[in-house]
Amino acid sequence: MSKQFDMEIFLEGVLSGSHATRQRHLRQAKAIQTAIAKRWHRDNPWTWQRKHLAWFLNQYLRSNSESTHYYYLLTISRISLRLGKSWCFQS
């Protein structure tokens, strides 16, 4: 069994704002990581494709509120920035 990818180290360079904001991004990034790992068995963000994050926003969060969707969209934009991708997602 391998060690889980450390999302905190991965996002360290792209997180800004207050301590609470950084903690929210980390908490949400770990939730995204868990959901994608369960669905596609990819726990490392370097192996993710745009479709994985789009699935999370459109399918996994479909029963959540608009504000929850928005905050996850912000976290996904940080993940995309860290990956060096110019992925755009609709809110």
Asked if the structure places residue 2 within a domain, the reply is no
DSSP character for 47?
A: G
Per-residue pLDDT of the chain (91 residues; tens, 9 = 90+): 456 789 999 999 999 999 999 999 999 999 999 999 999 999 899 999 999 999 999 999 999 999 999 999 999 999 999 999 999 987 6
Asked if the structure places residue 62 within a domain, the reply is yes
As for how many domains the chain has, the answer is 1
Range of the domain at 41: 7-83
Asked if the structure places residue 44 within a domain, the reply is yes
Q: What are the tokens at 75?
A: 């976290």
pTM above 0.85, yes or no: yes
How many other β-carbons are positioned within 10 Å of the β-carbon of residue 42?
A: 15
Asked if the structure places residue 31 within a domain, the reply is yes
Asked if the structure places residue 79 within a domain, the reply is yes
Place of tokens 């996002």: 11
